[in-house]
Every structure is written in structure tokens, then in C-alpha cells.
């Protein structure tokens, strides 16, 4: 179902940075107070964030809190994302949104939920993880599987080790250091151990596209129905309203039909080779 954009879809509304917290060497979480007139987002949606004089990019919500506070976790990979990482308390940021379809949490009722995140893909899932750790999801059980390239690149490591322990988190790294005692290898390592009755599983998967494809195919091969696997598609979103066409994937415009879709929708689209 296509998401309805907010009433302020084209003109940014200025928000003020409330806090900026370093997460990794190149990654920062900024906290904003949602301006009056903008609806509060749902987990999995995104905003278009604008730095005056620099540019505008889509960034997922990585936290949705009380007092109209929201978090955005940003990795500095270009001019605008670097400028967002440099924002300090009191600095202005332009906001459009929220946009897109988020995680379908109603589909998790009375299920065994697998939350699987690779790298920065944990950021769009963080509001769901926080709700699950607080017992606010109507799921039967929730497990958290996290992947990182190396221990020093594990996002929200303190939260995984402390606040999110009720979810029995497992972090897997591609490359270990001398202090690492956890599993080493791809994120799908031992995935079968976390699947009981596949027809009772609901999976939320976010990360690099190839990772989502591999994991979704393995979940499907294990018997998890395609419709019970949700993935978040990342494309070149520029307008947020489905008009510019930059984020088109087959018949979908991921800024309005996604970014979250079920694997039944995503699988045939991602199977087509890009030219």
C-alpha cells in the first residue's frame, strides 16, 4: 500500500539539532525535535534532511522518542552526509517528511520475530529493536542478529550489549581482532539455529542489498513464507513523492511504495540485472 506523503512534502521545515552523538569514526546520531505541523514518523520511514547551502539527502529514522524527538544516524560518505555529521546542538537542519512505508508491525503479532541487520542497516531497525526490548511488540519472541565488518564497526555496540539483551542478540563480524570472542563469518552463519517453525517466523531484514538477497533466499529456502519477510530497499530518493523517478525499481517508486516491502514484492525485482 502506497504511503500518503505529509502536507509539507516540498518545502523543508527548519528543525534544530538537540544533540549529536558519535557512533563510529565516520558515523553520528543527531537528535532533532520534529517541527510542529509535521506528523511523527513510523519505524522504517525516512526524512529528507537538508543542510542549507550544501544539499538534501534521504535518511531513515533511527529513533522515535517522546517529546517529538527523533534520531537520524548518518554516515559521512558525501558532502551532505558529512555536513550533517558536523551539525552541533543548536544548528539548523531542514526537514521534509516523513516519507514512505515503514515496517509492518501488525504482521508481527503472535509470531517469532527475527530482526537481522548488517552494518548501517541496524539504524532503520533501531526503533523496532527498542520497542521489542521494552516488551512493546505483540510478538511471541524476538531475536536480534547483527553483522559488522569488524568489531570496531559494530553500530550501537553498547546498546546491543546492555539495553537489548532481552532479544538474545548475536553479533557476527567478517574480520575479528585479538579481543573478539564472538562468531566470525557471514551474517547468515548458523541462521538455521534461529528458525524453529518457519511458518511461525516473521523476519525484518535490512543492510546491503546483496546481504538482504542472500538472507531472504535462505529464509525462504528454510520454509519462511515470502510474505513474512520484510526488507528495506535503498535507492536514489530525491523528491520523496514519487515524481522525479530517480528511485524507480521496476513498477515501484521506493520513496512511496517502499522503502519497506515484503520479499514477495522485492524478489522478482532484485532478480533483474541492472544495466
Domains along the chain with CATH numbers: 13-99 (2.40.30.10), 105-235+254-270 (3.40.50.80)
Rounded Cα distance between 118 and 215, Å, is 11
* DSSP β-ladder status, 229-232 and 260-262: antiparallel
Question: What's this model's pTM, rounded to 2 decimal places?
Answer: 0.93
Q: Which long-range contacts (CB under 8 A, 24 or more apart) does 209-215 make?
A: 209/233, 209/234, 209/270, 211/118, 211/121, 211/147, 211/187, 212/118, 212/121, 212/266, 213/270, 214/186, 214/188, 215/116, 215/187, 215/188, 215/191
- pLDDT above 90: residue 4: no
| pLDDT given at position 105 | 96
What tens digit of pLDDT does each residue of 179-238 get? 999 999 999 888 999 999 999 999 999 999 999 999 999 999 999 999 999 999 988 888
Pull the grid cell for residue 210.
546483496
Rounded Cα distance between 274 and 213, Å, is 15
Half-sphere exposure for 152 (CA within 13 Å, toward CB): 5
Owner of C-alpha cell 538474545: 168
Pull the grid cell for residue 90.
543548536
What tens digit of pLDDT does each residue of 41-78 get? 999 999 999 999 999 999 999 999 999 999 999 999 99
| pLDDT given at position 77 | 96
| pLDDT given at position 84 | 98
Residue 116 DSSP code: E
Question: Where does 94-208 have alpha helices with state H?
Answer: 122-133, 157-161
Higher pLDDT, 6 or 236: 236
What tens digit of pLDDT does each residue of 153-165 get? 999 999 999 999 9
Helix (H, G, I), strand (E, B) or coil at 179: coil
Residues 62 and 123 sit within 8 Å (Cβ to Cβ): yes
Backbone phi, then psi, for 81, in 5-degree steps?
-65, -35
Element (H, E) at 266: helix 263-270
Average pLDDT over residues 114-124: 97
- pLDDT above 50: residue 7: no
Amino acid at each position: 500500500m502506497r504511503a500518503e506523503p505529509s502536507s509539507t512534502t516540498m518545502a523543508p521545515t527548519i528543525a534544530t539539532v538537540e544533540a549529536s552523538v558519535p557512533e563510529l569514526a565516520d558515523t553520528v546520531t543527531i537528535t532533532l525535535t520534529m517541527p510542529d505541523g509535521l506528523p511523527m514518523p513510523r519505524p522504517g520511514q525516512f526524512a529528507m534532511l537538508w543542510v542549507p547551502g550544501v544539499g538534501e539527502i534521504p535518511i531513515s529514522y533511527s529513533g522515535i522518542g517522546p517529546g517529538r524527538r527523533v534520531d537520524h544516524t548518518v554516515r559521512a560518505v558525501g558532502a551532505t552526509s558529512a555536513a550533517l555529521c558536523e551539525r552541533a546542538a543548536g544548528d539548523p537542519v531542514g526537514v521534509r517528511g516523513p516519507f514512505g512505508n515503514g515496517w509492518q508491525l501488525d504482521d508481527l503479532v503472535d509470531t517469532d520475530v527475527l530482526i537481522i541487520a548488517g552494518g548501517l542497516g541496524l539504524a532503520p531497525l533501531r526503533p523496532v529493536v527498542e520497542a521489542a526490548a521494552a516488551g512493546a511488540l505483540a510478538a511471541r519472541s524476538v531475536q536480534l542478529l547483527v553483522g559488522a565488518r569488524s568489531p570496531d564497526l559494530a553500530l550501537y555496540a553498547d546498546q546491543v550489549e546492555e539495553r537489548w539483551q532481552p532479544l538474545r542478540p548475536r553479533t557476527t563480524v567478517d574480520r575479528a581482532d585479538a579481543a573478539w570472542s564472538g562468531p566470525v563469518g557471514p551474517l547468515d552463519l548458523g541462521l538455521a539455529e534461529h528458525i524453529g517453525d518457519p511458518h511461525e517466523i516473521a523476519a525484518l531484514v535490512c543492510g546491503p542489498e546483496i546481504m538482504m538477497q542472500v538472507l531472504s533466499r535462505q529464509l525462504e529456502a528454510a520454509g519462511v513464507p515470502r510474505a513474512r519477510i520484510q526488507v528495506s530497499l535503498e535507492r536514489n530518493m530525491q523528491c520523496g513523492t514519487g515524481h522525479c523517478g530517480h528511485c524507480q525499481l521496476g513498477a515501484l517508486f521506493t520513496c512511496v511504495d517502499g522503502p519497506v516491502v515484503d520479499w514477495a514484492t522485492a524478489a522478482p525485482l532484485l532478480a533483474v540485472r541492472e544495466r
